[in-house]
Chains A and B, each alone.
Chain A
């Protein structure tokens, strides 16, 4: 059933073809059958009409024959000598009895003898009316003309036959009356197949059936339609009587002066002819339908052959939509469909290839060939399902390659890619079983799933990896240090679902990174409790109010001149309970909650106070203050700053503002607007932690900044790691090309400082120069450095050009030295 309805759908070529062809044939057949049907109807009417005409003649003949026969037998009586004698002798009694016996012999209903001079001398009629009926002129006329003569006697139709009585001339007439009754009608019907009805119109204009072959109901119907038919007597009328269609002819038999009329109604049933011809027509129709059915089957079979390849294609494409591309099409044809099939095959293969590739892309990291985060999560999920019933542990190790972005930016994307591949390779080589999963989650973040491994096994894995990264790795024949943050989370103790496991491993990784630990196994304590956060915020607000915050300054020198030029303002929190709290522990929360604005404000005020103090002492230094994302989105900041400057009579140049790439990214338009305003006010702007963010130098170029601070992670080991050195060198070169000053952070030994000097780095900052110091200690450091510097400045192993340049700087420094 479903199949049938499927094929009945007009969208199918096969159905359409079949229907169109069949319609054409059907229309053609109908076009021939309809006229046939019409002509059959006409023909049947014609037959009926002919039959009616024939019937009418037969009927007339029959009556005529009857009439002749009656006449002949009447003549016998008329010429009977005894009868004539009785007539001649006017023997009424004898005449009457002779008529009576004769009437019975020939089955007439009434008999008269009329003398030739008109008087009825004898009759067998039983009523007075009947006895006076005979009109001699009509009698004579009937005899001489031989025509049929009718009359109504006693309300009944009669055919009258007259013969003369001769002695030997005509002396009188015998008139015989034969009733036109049922039997006459039946007789006619038997011969002609016509229905015969004798209808009388009485003097009171009523129609009355006086005999016939119709049933009572039929006769009734006929009577009802007499009036209209009589008005057109000669026509052939068509009437339906008792559900039978008739052709009808009327013949007036008699009419008298009183208006009485007698009609014979001849009816020919058309139905039987129509039926006969209809049977013929039906046969034709059946044959036509059979022909059409045969044609339909032929078309169906033929089109099936034609459409089969299309159906196959359809099925195949249906398979493809389900994702099954493996089934090859086999259409062994040379026509267009075959070509289509071949093209389909090519398309199928191409799609299969693409699908595989998309699949690879979806679940693999194209760069390293490792799994991607999506498939890693699936793997973790699968691992949960396989480990949970066994109550086994498995571990997730998340490894982040530190400082990857600048490596990528400065040593080239190819180099970065190779580095990542290398890291992935190292991880892959150290897994314990083939079912362990190594994936790259993000740009520089990898994850490893170690099946059936607890904390110990995971630690062993991490140790193996770290052992390899302990030595610089060679990428493109260049040694480079790989610094990593590694976090470990173990199922089920550190999480029951993949999401929490990965999050916890990442938390541990961040911890490892920030604490500079080789690796960290996740622990509940790593999570900063929300409630603790809230407490901290409250405490922080209190700290600002109660002046628990301390300003520390990390010194900064001009690398070229070696002269101290100021420092970076840093914050310390002397918590009444927890003791000294480092900014890493509260600045992120402060940023999240907005308290950072208060902190920045506090810092700016304090920095300005310090600057004011040194200005009054005649020492020219600058202090850099870090601005957060919120600060950069604060349109009030420039105004606030200008208030501060005027309050402490400071020049905008003495206050350096450090912004990170990330802080600019939050709401770039807003941030840029604020930054531009600040620059317009004459502030010195610096990009902090350059290399850890994702902005390009090209972007930074659009900003009105004057300085770039290279993140310490690149600087710290640049003496040991040529890759780092390359990054620093490139950064410096690029920054100089853009007209920016470069500050290096994290200078921890002389070699690095010397190297930076050789690379042309402008300023330096780091433990080798000075740790973050309290205001008092900074003041001490300033004088110490000045002393120490004067002694060591000459020991710089600088190229001659630099040296001469240095000399100038020293001279400047001396000049600027306050008294």
Chain B
């Protein structure tokens, strides 16, 4: 199984290299309605084709200081995520979101199995013990996605062509903006949320 995954990764890397000549680098600068750079905003870009491959990598969301870290995570459909507990107290992580409903009952340390998110959508994470703990996992059905940094910037390499991008501010269960974008070369996309 590990071998197969590795092979897939190599193949994917090869395709990427193949397409590099036609690739472009998009820099998103997201600002909120008041013009402030908006961090932790998810941007997903769709090229209209079925994703060439699904990521099988494992990500992790750590619970530390009674917080999810990262509070906002973006993964491609099919990604598995571990929820290691680094707090001394136990947590009970759950989600009632239709995209992925699960719970990891009271545990400490690393839960036995990572959770696989095989359905696109927003997953709200909560802890049944600590109401204040809120986290979001944006599961996107595309390999082109990123999350803005503290300056509201995100960089995504995409193939040129007619694309659609979505902007999901943190905590939103629905994208705030969905926009067509014809990409010829690298450019800066400025997004101002309404």
* Chain A positions near chain B (C-beta within 8 angstroms): 79, 81, 84-85, 87-89, 166-169, 171
Chain A residues, Cβ within 8 Å of B154: none
A-B contact count (CB 8 A): 30
Query: Are the C-beta atoms of A89 and B96 separated by less than 8 Å?
Result: yes
Chain A residues, Cβ within 8 Å of B124: 167-169
Contact partner, B131, options A88, A89, A166, A171, Cβ 8 Å: A166
Q: Can you list the 10 inter-chain pairs with the closest CB atoms, starting with the nearest?
A: A88-B96, A168-B126, A167-B96, A168-B134, A81-B128, A169-B124, A167-B124, A167-B126, A168-B124, A84-B96
Q: Which of B145-193 contact A (CB under 8 A)?
A: 171, 173
Q: Which of B73-109 contact A (CB under 8 A)?
A: 94-97, 101
Chain A residues, Cβ within 8 Å of B173: 169
Query: Are the C-beta atoms of B101 and A168 separated by less than 8 Å?
Result: no
A84–B127 Cα distance when bound, in Å, is: 13
Whether B133 is near chain A, meaning CB under 8 Å from some CB there, is: yes
Chain B residues, Cβ within 8 Å of A81: 94, 128
- The secondary structure that dominates the A interface is mixed
Whether B125 is near chain A, meaning CB under 8 Å from some CB there, is: yes
Chain B residue nearest to A167 (CB atoms) is B96
Count B-side interface residues using an 8 Å CB cutoff.
Answer: 15
Q: A81-B128, A88-B101 are in contact. Are A169 and B134 (CB under 8 A)?
A: yes
Q: A81-B128, A168-B127, A168-B134 are in contact. List 11 more A-B contacts (CB 8 A).
A: A85-B96, A88-B97, A166-B126, A167-B95, A167-B124, A168-B124, A168-B125, A168-B133, A169-B124, A169-B134, A169-B171
> What's the minimum C-beta distance from B100 to chain A, rounded to whole angstroms?
12
A169–B131 Cα distance when bound, in Å, is: 10
A-B contact pairs, 25 of them (CB 8 A): A79-B131, A81-B94, A81-B128, A84-B96, A87-B96, A88-B96, A88-B97, A88-B101, A89-B96, A89-B101, A166-B126, A166-B131, A167-B95, A167-B96, A167-B97, A167-B126, A168-B124, A168-B125, A168-B133, A168-B134, A169-B124, A169-B134, A169-B171, A169-B173, A171-B96
Chain B residues, Cβ within 8 Å of A79: 131
A425–B43 Cα distance when bound, in Å, is: 173
A81–B171 Cα distance when bound, in Å, is: 21
Chain B residue nearest to A90 (CB atoms) is B98
Chain B residues, Cβ within 8 Å of A167: 95-97, 124, 126
Chain A residue nearest to B128 (CB atoms) is A81
Chain B residues, Cβ within 8 Å of A166: 126, 131
Chain B residues, Cβ within 8 Å of A169: 124, 134, 171, 173
A169–B136 Cα distance when bound, in Å, is: 10
A88–B124 Cα distance when bound, in Å, is: 11
> What's the minimum C-beta distance from A599 to chain B, rounded to whole angstroms?
166
Chain A residues, Cβ within 8 Å of B96: 84-85, 87-89, 167, 171
Chain B residues, Cβ within 8 Å of A87: 96
Q: Which of B14-29 contact A (CB under 8 A)?
A: none
> What's the minimum C-beta distance from A623 to chain B, rounded to whole angstroms?
174
A84–B134 Cα distance when bound, in Å, is: 15
> What's the minimum C-beta distance from B95 to chain A, rounded to whole angstroms?
8
Chain B residue nearest to A171 (CB atoms) is B96
Q: A87-B96, A88-B101, A89-B96 are in contact. Are A168 and B131 (CB under 8 A)?
A: yes
A171–B126 Cα distance when bound, in Å, is: 13
Chain A residue nearest to B101 (CB atoms) is A88
A81–B96 Cα distance when bound, in Å, is: 10
